[in-house]
Chains A and B, each alone.
Chain A
Amino acid sequence: DQQVKQNSPSLSVQEGRISILNCDYTNSMFDYFLWYKKYPAEGPTFLISISSIKDKNEDGRFTVFLNKSAKHLSLHIVPSQPGDSAVYFCAASGAGNNRKLIWGLGTSLAVNP
């Protein structure tokens, strides 16, 4: 049972345009959400996070939006650059004893020059 779902296995965008990666979750107890980026032959690296008390968090070209009622979050990358080409994982955790991170399957983003 996939509690964190990234329904698009892959996404291709042109350099300079916006990349939007989506993530849905089913567990209403999740209260913290993260995005990690993974290049080939490397481990995932933390990108950006958002707490459930917020609906938006921005860090440079990266913005994460959270819609709690829809149990949906998205990562926006503007403008997209070829170096952003990687696999992006969405992860979620709950409070207290539910702090174990639950991961999506990832979306492979290709930014074309």
Chain B
Amino acid sequence: DTGVSQNPRHKITKRGQNVTFRCDPISEHNRLYWYRQTLGQGPEFLTYFQNEAQLEKSRLLSDRFSAERPKGSFSTLEIQRTEQGDSAMYLCASSLGDTVRETQYFGPGTRLLVL
């Protein structure tokens, strides 16, 4: 399977714990995006990378959230001191190219439940 993969697919944690998600983009895709989606809403932009550089971060993203993309390949999204409001589907997408018209290919997501 050469699509975007995300791990774990499901995560249940207790409030206050830290969690880390991983995204493996399509090979050689230079752009990688993180989104959060809650029930009945569209994906909400969190951040994106061009290669290893994090170029934009949503103002909605609190300091408890951090993302990295070392070496411009896979990416991790960490949430520190989780809160119940963090419960959502976290989606990763990747794209290839230099313009805004490239298709974003989404992974299956990581569903987070904070108890």
A binds B: no
